[in-house]
A and B are shown apart, each in its own frame.
Chain A
Amino acid sequence: MNLSEHSSILIVVIPLIASFVNIFLNFLQRKLCYPFFVLVLGICVALSIDILCQVINFGVLRYRLGGWMAPWGIEYVIDHLNAYLIVIVSSMSFIVAIYSKDSVKKEISKAKLPYFYSTYLLLATGLFGITVTGDIFNLYVFLEIASLSAYALVAIGEKRSVLASFHYIIMGTIGACFYLLGVGYIYIITGSLNISDLTRLLPSLYESKVTLTALAFFIVGIGIKIALFPLHRWLPDSYTFAPSAVSAFASATVTKVGIYVLIRISFTLFEPKFLIEMTPLSNILIWWSTIAIFFGSLIAIGQKDFKRTLSYILIAEIGYMVFGINIGNKEGFIGAVLHILNDSLMIGCLFMIAGGVFYRIGSRNIEDFNGLNRNMPITMAAFTIAALSMIGIPPTAGFFSKWYLIVGAVKAGYLVSAVILIFSSLVNALIFFRILEKIYFTKNENTPMYNFRELPISMMIPIVITALAILIIGLYSGEIISSVIKFSLPKGF
């Protein structure tokens, strides 16, 4: 029996089982919960890398659950895009898991930590499940697992977070319901739920109104889940008031997986030509996301609260990705998929730093960042790297995805959007250099609050790792593109 041929299912099942076992451990030996939790996510990272290697070496992986043939049973289909996403999600969840050790202690009561770890694992499970599955209804189930745990993780933050979580629940449920309606419509006219089966069946039905409606509902539903601009209302509050570990994890993974689902629905379930040529949808989405970028950046300037600023920047970044996907040429798609990785690193790193600062000075207000480099030089160095990457200064990672997006926009002739992209990087420059100036060139008046040292090592290491990753991955973007992303291009690009 060879485990590596099962790794595509194990990556979902292992964190799942771990989340149950965590409950037992809570009653047996509470101290073991955290090590176990981190260990499991470490195993997930190993598995995900194994999956990626398998995909690169042997091409698409298919796994028939319960041994049933595809349209009747559920099957997992893993191509380069999934594998890439799995690696991102697993490694970010692992890194943030390390980070959560100390940061969570201040925000959640000791007795509840095991339940927190279980929920965290369930969120990871949900995300993995969404990523690997090849069945639209199975995707919905795991979407709900992820969403439920995300609602809870948001709600255990500070006082305001509960209301935020409630809005998240309402919006998220609307999104899920729309997705489910889309599934229903597709099912009624095809009778199948399996993505590759549907890819075969749908082209004959492109004329039907039902198909178009289904696609529209899919897109709106996912648009809510990824907080595309007018539907973003739940995101800033949730990520601002959630525990810092949670906001780091969620911001780095949840929205990215949403983007992945969008890609799957629009380019695998349907053919690219349906979205791009036969319907105006991609054109609508391009302008929609351009607006998202513009307003996300614009609103981000005005914010006092650092985490809130980051949330709005995240909204703009989501706009980038949706834009890149829908341009409909090679560069744009590459840029978007590359940006999924870079953005999850940058946003994750920045949210972790925000959490670290909050951990020390108990404030998220940008005004209180004065002279922090005296107290936490390493963290602030990491912050500088992440900030430069956000602005898109080469050779940090952020530049390259932005480069491809802009080239794609110019080649496809969307010059306005290109200008907006550049505008938003200028806005990032404004925001981040304002903060950097406070950090490095302003003396802090209220010294008593600031007599502390660097972060605890368990929070420092993840931040440093991500910061270094931003630098290194930037240099190897070419590798990533040629070995992974190139193969995930939809046909016709």
Chain B
Amino acid sequence: METVIGKYNYWIYIALMMIGFYAMIAKRNLVKKIVGMNIFQTAIILFFISTAYKKDATIPILIKSQEVIDPAKYINPLPHVLMLTAIVVMVSTFGVALAVIMMLYKQYKTLDEDEIIEILRKKK
């Protein structure tokens, strides 16, 4: 029971990751793959953020600079920073992937991988 209380957040995020991962490798529709990619990355981000949390602590913005600062009162800022980066990376990857998908759509007029491969085989 202890472990469940202590670790369930990780498990939820891992479950999310795996959903995204499955979509990435199993779905045949390109957009669904991309969506899976986003789910995966978002789950990773949540995972990181959850590592930053400390019980009854607040966001790391120091109100009065005079008081002696107790780190335990403020949550860990580092994962947030890393995840800002990761979010941007995710968005950029998403943009690039969308651009590629649009090029594909312009070429093959479909977004289903199997159909595209079929078309290519016909061309041969």
A/B touching: CB–CB < 8 A: yes
Interface of A toward B, CB cutoff 8 Å: 137, 141, 144, 148, 151-152, 155, 159-160, 162-163, 165-166, 169-170, 173-174, 176-177, 180-181, 184, 187-188, 193
- Give 9 nearest A-B pairs by CB, closest first: A144-B89, A162-B103, A166-B100, A169-B97, A188-B51, A162-B104, A173-B37, A165-B100, A155-B100
Nearest chain B residue, comparing its CB with the CB of A188: B51
7 A-B residue pairs with CB within 8 Å: A152-B96, A155-B103, A163-B116, A165-B100, A170-B33, A174-B21, A184-B48
Number of interface residues of B (CB under 8 A): 30
Complex Cα spacing A449 to B63, Å: 77
Contacts of B103 in A (CB 8 A): 155, 162
Query: Are B51 and A187 in contact (CB-based, < 8 A)?
Result: yes
Complex Cα spacing A218 to B3, Å: 26
Query: Are A163 and B93 in contact (CB-based, < 8 A)?
Result: no
Query: Are B79 and A187 in contact (CB-based, < 8 A)?
Result: yes
CB distance from B36 to the nearest CB of A (A): 9
Q: Pick the residue among A151, A163, A181 that contacts B96 (CB under 8 A).
A: A151
Residues of B contacting A: mostly:
helix
Query: Are B85 and A141 in contact (CB-based, < 8 A)?
Result: yes
B120 contacts partner chain A, Cβ-Cβ < 8 Å: yes
Nearest chain B residue, comparing its CB with the CB of A152: B96
Q: Pick the residue among A144, A159, A181, A184 that contacts B93 (CB under 8 A).
A: A144
Query: Are A184 and B44 in contact (CB-based, < 8 A)?
Result: yes
Nearest chain B residue, comparing its CB with the CB of A137: B82
Complex Cα spacing A184 to B33, Å: 24
Contacts of B21 in A (CB 8 A): 174
Query: Are A148 and B107 in contact (CB-based, < 8 A)?
Result: no
Query: Are B44 and A180 in contact (CB-based, < 8 A)?
Result: yes
B86 contacts partner chain A, Cβ-Cβ < 8 Å: yes
Query: Are B40 and A177 in contact (CB-based, < 8 A)?
Result: yes
Query: Are A166 and B107 in contact (CB-based, < 8 A)?
Result: no
Complex Cα spacing A188 to B44, Å: 13
CB distance from B121 to the nearest CB of A (A): 12
Contacts of A166 in B (CB 8 A): 30, 97, 100-101, 104
Contacts of B48 in A (CB 8 A): 184, 187
Contacts of A148 in B (CB 8 A): 92-93, 96
Q: Pick the residue among B24, B78, B92, B104 that contacts A174 (CB under 8 A).
A: B24
Query: Are A151 and B51 in contact (CB-based, < 8 A)?
Result: no
**Chain B, range 79-124, C-beta contacts under 8 Å to A:** 79, 82, 85-86, 89, 92-93, 96-97, 100-101, 103-104, 107, 116, 120
Known pairs A155-B103, A184-B51; A170 contacts B24 (CB<8 A): yes
Query: Are A162 and B100 in contact (CB-based, < 8 A)?
Result: yes
Complex Cα spacing A162 to B116, Å: 11
CB distance from A460 to the nearest CB of B (A): 33
CB distance from A185 to the nearest CB of B (A): 9
CB distance from A472 to the nearest CB of B (A): 40
**Chain B, range 60-84, C-beta contacts under 8 Å to A:** 78-79, 82
Contacts of A170 in B (CB 8 A): 24-25, 33, 37
CB distance from A174 to the nearest CB of B (A): 6
Contacts of B96 in A (CB 8 A): 148, 151-152, 169
Binary interface encoding of chain B residues 6-30 relative to chain A, with 1 for a CB under 8 A from any of its CBs, else 0: 0000000000010001001100001
